[in-house]
A and B are shown apart, each in its own frame.
Chain A
Amino acid sequence: MHYNFFIVNKIGLLIYERKFPGCAQLDSSDLIRFGATLSALHLLSAVVTPSGLKKSGLKMISSKFFKLCCFQSPTGVKFCLVSDPNTTDMEKMCKKAYQYYSDYVLKNPFYELDQQIRFEGFDREIEKLFAIKQ
């Protein structure tokens, strides 16, 4: 089961957010804070990575109550999925979401880079993507 899905742009602004049934109630300032915190965590986790390992940044937070998966595209856009602890293949789903982002968002000539995403086509694909496993 999935709780939330977020997309954070390369400067740490939340540009897309999707709630699924059972998620925590977050208001708009919580969401802004979330985007900024996630970016900072990502950067810092790369700094504290022991030497000799690949500094990939934050990838997964696992707890008894939830799992948070963060996939960062090479261009710096972060796709973040919060699900229940038993979910598998979360990174794969984030990568799929990246494909939809490149198709339904970036290829739309009316989308301005780094701005909020409000497109029905993208919403539809995201719903379909995360509904399969629910």
Chain B
Amino acid sequence: MARQPRQAETVWNQSEKVNAELFAFTYGALVVKLIKELESLTKVNETLEQMGYNIGVRLIDDFLSKNDVNCEELKDTADAIAKHGFKVYLGITCDVVMGDDQKEFSLIMTDNPMTEYVEMREGYGELCYCNIICGVIRGALQMLKYESKVSIVRDTLKNDDCTEIKVTILSRKVDEYEPDEGA
């Protein structure tokens, strides 16, 4: 196991970086623009999630082609997201808390470059600022044939002590040859 985090570190060190502030500002501008253009915060959340989904379905191949991770069991998949995925793309790692029934897990983030300069205004309680991350995770899991529901349940922007992203696996479809009845 000790080998794995080091590997994510290597990929992170080798990859090209963008300025963290540019990234945070661009994302902030995007969120604000959406809030101005769409009528409700629920719609903003949905749009951010959908954008993330579209990113996730493409990003997963980039991730898998450059990181040697095992995504066969849910536990490994959760670790791959928390220790490798977040490290490679955001430079942070999360803690994983597995659910009891092997159908859900939570990712606990204490530090997030996206929200560094963000202070939520009153009346924006419904907004999930980082909902794009939920979308990315759902899209990526979708490509690995996990049907999932991802949501932010605790948020540092809403005065919680950490940000918790909860991933619930609804089903998993695996391609298999099914012989005809009686064959």
A-B interaction: yes
Residues of A within 8 A of B (CB): 43-44, 46-47, 73-77, 95, 98-99, 101-103, 106-107, 113
- B interface residues (Cβ-Cβ under 8 A, vs A): 57-62, 64-66, 71, 143-144, 175-177
How far, in angstroms, from A98 to B65 measured CA to CA in the complex? 6
Residue of A nearest to B175 (CB): A43
Contact B144–A74 (Cβ < 8 Å): yes
A-B contacts, 17 listed (Cβ < 8 Å): A43-B175, A43-B176, A43-B177, A44-B177, A47-B177, A73-B61, A73-B64, A73-B65, A75-B61, A75-B64, A75-B143, A77-B61, A102-B58, A102-B61, A103-B62, A106-B59, A107-B62
CB distance from A59 to the nearest CB of B (A): 16
A113: nearest residue on chain B (CB-CB)?
A: B57
Check B66 against A99 for contact (C-beta < 8 Å).
Answer: yes
Q: How far is the CA of A131 from the CA of B175 in the complex (A)?
A: 35
Q: Which residue of A lies closest to B62 (CB)?
A: A102
**Which residues of chain A are near B57, meaning CB under 8 Å?**
113
B66 / chain A contacts, CB cutoff of 8 Å: 99, 102
Known A75-B144, A76-B143, A106-B59; further 19 A-B contacts with Cβ < 8 A: A43-B177, A47-B176, A47-B177, A73-B61, A73-B64, A73-B65, A74-B71, A75-B60, A75-B61, A75-B143, A76-B175, A99-B65, A102-B61, A102-B62, A102-B66, A103-B62, A107-B58, A107-B62, A113-B58
A54 to B122, CA, bound (A): 55
With A74-B71, A98-B65 given, is the CB distance from A106 to B177 under 8 Å?
no
